[in-house]
Amino acid sequence: MTVSYKQFCVAAVLAATTSVAFPQDNKVLNLYSSRHYQTDEALYSNFTRQTGIRINRIEAGEDALIERLRNEGERSPADVLVTVDAGRLWRAEQLGFFQPVKSALLDARIPASLREPGGLWYGFSLRARLIAYNKARVKPADVPTYESLAEPKWKDRVCMRSSTNIYNLSLMGAIIDHLGEQKAEQWAQAVRANLAREPRGGDTDQLKSVAAGECDLTLTNQYYYARLVRSDKADEREIAAKLGVVFPNQASWGTHVNISGAGVMKHAPNRQAAVKFLEYLAGDEAQRYFADGNNEWPVVAGVKPDNPVLKLFGAFKQDALNVAVLGRNQPGAQKIYDRVAWK
């Protein structure tokens, strides 16, 4: 029998549910995280050094962690869940995983648009959904907005991920809010008609396809492009050299942004430590570690990233929409994609 990586992750974390026992004395923090970046090691060790609170980590994919939490229920030892995309945080919220946190520090440092209004979860790093194009075949002025991707001139020239991908769902959630459901569906239908091939693969696959000339345009989170630019592999840097990126909608509602974020679990045995951890993530040093680990931006104003590629991007107008809306619009977004047979 062949076992996929996703199945392996789910099985592994479920097996660990009954075999891992965590202390409950507020001198430890039981962290469930879908992040696995080298810089996170310093992030966690610095927290322990500053607070004396030791971190126990369970790391797995988002789906595996959510399945584990569902199975653990009220017995879960988890204090904090860290994951990516407001849409995934919304899913965890809908399952009743979080409890509200009231923190003057978090409210002061985390922009209101990047946190759940009731304090159930907070964003700690920022990512943007960009248009990437083949520099030999497209001029950036030709694609100033997300709406541009629906223009007939791009027929058979666009590559996209699946409609079930959380990044596409969250973007559609924003488009629904800005344009209304009818125009959002018209956009999805027109972009679907412009696809050069059936949706497949991840963001990096789309970028490679654009660089290879299979298509001319795609959407990508900025960190996938940054990884290629910063790669120690010559062939990946060559791919990046063929690409340009546009921050869409600078003259209207701004570029769609999303977050990596975290919340305190409803049955957290070490709630005090959990709140301290969230507040720690809002500190200047932690912001740099948290963001630079995945080529993202800090969310706290005035904190400058060390990442050279992010510096090259410069400032841009961000969509001011509260990211919690992306989750609330997720069911409607999926229905639109299904109706236009995006796949």
Beta strands in 265-337 (DSSP E): 297-298
Co-location of 169 and 144 in the same domain:
yes
Task: Assess whether 120 and 217 both reside in one domain.
Answer: no
65 with 140, same domain? no
Residues 111 and 159 grouped into a single domain = no
CA distance to 68, 94, 116, 252, 305, per residue, from 312 (Å): 40, 38, 30, 23, 11
In a domain, 98, yes or no: yes
pLDDT of res. 292: 87
Determine, yes or no, domain membership for 86: yes
pLDDT the model gives residue 177: 98
Same domain, 264 and 238: no
Can you name the residues that pair with 28 across neighbouring β-strands? Answer: 54
Q: Is 151 exposed, middle or buried (0-12, 13-18, 19+ CB in 10 A)?
A: middle
Residues 242 and 266 in one domain: no
Provide the residue type at 231 as one letter. Answer: S
* pLDDT, position 100: 98
Number of domains in the chain: 2
Q: Are residues 134 and 73 in the same domain?
A: no
**SS3 (DSSP) at 100:** coil
CA distance 3 to 56: 28
Q: Count the helices and strands in the chain (H runs, E runs).
A: 15, 8
Same domain, 152 and 223: yes
Residues 178 and 85 both lie in one domain = no
Burial of 104 per CB tally in 10 Å (0-12, 13-18, 19+): exposed
* pLDDT at residue 117, rounded to an integer: 97
Mark whether 171 and 113 lie in a shared domain: no
140 inside domain: yes
Q: Is residue 319 part of a domain?
A: no
Tens digits of residue pLDDT in 185-202? 999 999 999 999 999 999
| 217, 332: one domain | yes
Extract the residue ranges of the chain whose pLDDT is less than 70.
1-26
Which residue type is seen at 305?
P
- Per the structure block, which two tokens stand in for 305? 């990233």
227 in the same domain as 178: yes
What CATH number is attached to the domain comprising 153? 3.40.190.10
- For 247, the domain range is 127-255+327-339
Residue 19: per-residue pLDDT = 35
